Amino acid sequence: MIPSSFPSKEEIARLTAGMLIEIGAIHFNTRDPFTHASGKKAPTYIDCRKLISFPRIRSTLMDFLAVTIMREGGFEAYDNIAGGETAGIPFAAFVAERLALPMTYVRKKPKGYGRNARIEGAMSEGQRALLVEDLTTDGGSKLSFVDAIRDTGATCDATAVIFFYGIHKGVEDTLAEHGINLMYLCTWWDVLAEAKRRAAFDEETLTEVEAYLNDPNGWSERNA
């Protein structure tokens, strides 16, 4: 069902951060930092895939994402909701259902046999596609997915995610240069604020996490 309530962006961010904390999708570890895909160390890790196992929270966040898409992108702005392999696929399906739109998904690379396709489902030339993902860090993977969508003759000028890191400089500018608008529910800053409000982690951990958010590259180098 298409959502009809419109919480403010700030309220959506606060509630989203709280739900991610509640289900244990947020991990802070300053003594034994996580290694991200980039190879850099960080005291933070988020597991958005965990959301699919919590139907009440999942449903609420998908309502929030649908509302955000309509408010920031437009009520009649899209013809096709595309999920990025693999994490974006369930969320694209949930959003497509709410917006009463067709759903497709984009492979990371051609599957190597059969039609050798990157787009699965029906996407046609001239359709306005929206890329839905779980999160974005530096935006790099989004560019490849968007290019695959555009190769079909469809257009894609936006991506919507549940979580945007919001700590690396120039990400939104890089996406904008590629003709992509970024829509999201919350960032690490929203999570930190809600974690402080709930006292969800000890004060020493929260202080160190804040230091990382203010200077992720410097923190990573000091803790390599």
Assign 136 to helix, strand or coil.
strand
pLDDT tens per residue, the chain (224 residues)? 777 778 999 999 999 999 999 999 999 999 999 998 888 899 999 999 999 999 999 999 999 999 999 999 999 999 999 999 999 999 999 999 999 999 999 999 887 665 658 999 999 999 999 999 999 988 778 999 999 999 999 999 999 999 999 999 999 999 999 999 999 999 999 999 999 999 999 999 999 999 999 999 999 999 87
β-bridge pairing 41-42 and 34-35: antiparallel
- Which pLDDT belongs to residue 114? 56
What is the DSSP code (8-state) at residue 43? Answer: S
- Which pLDDT belongs to residue 112? 64
pTM for the whole structure: 0.94
- Which pLDDT belongs to residue 83? 98
Among candidates 213, 207, 218, which has minimal Cα distance to 190? Answer: 213
- In the chain the domains, ranked by start, together with CATH numbers, are 9-222 (3.40.50.2020)
- Which pLDDT belongs to residue 48? 96
